[in-house]
Amino acid sequence: MFKALGDNTRYAIYLELARASTPRSTADIATELNLHPNTVRPHLERMREVGLLSVEVDNRGTVGRPQHRYSLAADAPSLGLEPASYPILAALLANVAALFGPEADAVSGIAKEHGRARAGAHAGEPCVGAVRAELEEMGFDPETAVDGNVTTIAFSRCPFRPLAEAFPELVCHLHRGMIEGMVDVLGEPTWPDSPPSKTVTRAR
């Protein structure tokens, strides 16, 4: 599967389909990538053969040969790309949540459960390293600094910035709760050469 993505053109096609909110035809993909359809077609077929793509036949309102439309297969790797509809759904859910004005502790409590579940994926890792790895996976681009027995994890990029600015009481408490949940499971945050009982983790 991953060998099929080793070709630069196939990888570009795959990214285009991963970002698409609806299935795309060969012509659609060729236009977006400035390629000839005859160049795109064998690459699509190769990715379909190895299970990366699904194909559906669309003959509605067309004359001649039905169009084949491609999308990622259900079990294909997303490469971290979310469907285009997810930001819309997130914004709608944030509006609904804000309408009910939940308490900060209730919001962070929900996220704590997520943090505890994610901590299981980092079993055996130092707490600070696990939190940083989780933030990296989410797209926060974290930086770590140690000052005595205090470790600070900061980030200059927030992948949820538009929602965080619109709903700070929701998004920031969710973020805080997630980290607290990870710390609950992984134990006292530690960092090399610093006293375990006095090390803390701060994210901002």
Segment 131-156, tens digit of pLDDT: 888 888 787 878 888 888 788 888 87
Question: Position 117: which residue type?
Answer: A
Residue-level pLDDT at 198:
38
Is the pLDDT assigned to residue 19 strictly greater than 60? Answer: yes
User: What's the token pair of residue 69?
Assistant: 């439309």
Question: Contacts for 90-99 with beta carbons within 8 Å, 24 or more apart?
Answer: 90/163, 91/162, 91/163, 91/166, 94/163, 94/166, 94/167, 94/170, 94/171, 97/167, 97/170, 98/167, 98/169, 98/170
User: What's the token pair of residue 64?
Assistant: 């001649």
Residue-level pLDDT at 83:
62
Q: CATH number of the domain at 4-72, please? A: 1.10.10.10
Q: Which residue ranges make up each domain of the chain?
A: 4-72, 101-203
Residue-level pLDDT at 40:
94
Is the pLDDT assigned to residue 91 strictly greater than 60? Answer: yes
Residue-level pLDDT at 43:
93
In whole angstroms, how large is the CA radius of gyration of the chain?
22
User: What's the token pair of residue 62?
Assistant: 């067309």
Q: Tokens 């949540």: give the residue.
A: 97
**84-104: average pLDDT:** 81
* Residue 1: band (very low, low, confident or very high) from pLDDT cuts 50, 70, 90: confident
Q: The whole model's pTM is what? A: 0.54
**Mapping DSSP to helix (H, G, I), strand (E, B) and coil, where does residue 57 land?**
strand
**Greater confidence, 157 or 174?**
174
Residue-level pLDDT at 38:
93
- Alpha carbons 72 and 101: distance in angstroms, whole number: 38
Residue-level pLDDT at 64:
61
* Residue 197: band (very low, low, confident or very high) from pLDDT cuts 50, 70, 90: very low
**91-95: average pLDDT:** 85
**Greater confidence, 69 or 64?**
69
Q: What is the mean pLDDT of the chain?
A: 81
Residues in the chain: 204
